[in-house]
Amino acid sequence: MILAFQNCGGTQIDAAKAPGASEKVEAEKELSSLRELIESLSASDLSCASDADCEVHGIGSRPCGGSSSAVLVSHLNAELEQIEVLSLEYERKQLEYNRSNQIAGTCEFPIVPAAACVRNVCQLSGAGI
């Protein structure tokens, strides 16, 4: 399960200070690949025995602060440690991308849904994004 928070507006303030177009495209591809890997690992095992095994894990970095999106994870997932390491790398790279491209955004605060264990599978519960 993949969640997407409201975009922070992704507006360039000063295009003259942004890296070259090829550098920007390469950085975007790298971010996209890293995010896809995190999403894939997270979705590979959503098994659970109780609600405590499930979590909505924020990933990325919005220009105005906070996570740019989130993934549903199970604490029983054998790849959880790798997901956490990759999530920190993704956050660092997106923060760097936002700064080097002078990305600005609207500072909205999304409602993060709760995670619950339903029939031994982590799922989103309640209101949310």
Residues of the domain holding 102: 2-125
- For 69-101, b/e burial (b = at least 16 CB within 10 A) is bbbbbbebbebbeebeebbeebbebbbebbeeb
Name the more confident of 13 and 60: 60
What pLDDT digit, counting tens, does each position of 27-42 carry? 889 999 999 999 999 9
User: Average pLDDT, stretch 69-88?
Assistant: 95
pTM: 0.76
Rounded Cα gap, residues 64 and 71, in angstroms: 20
CA angle 44, 76, 2 (to 5 degrees): 40
Count up the domains in the chain and report the number: 1
What pLDDT digit, counting tens, does each position of 38-73 carry? 999 999 999 999 999 999 998 988 888 788 888 999
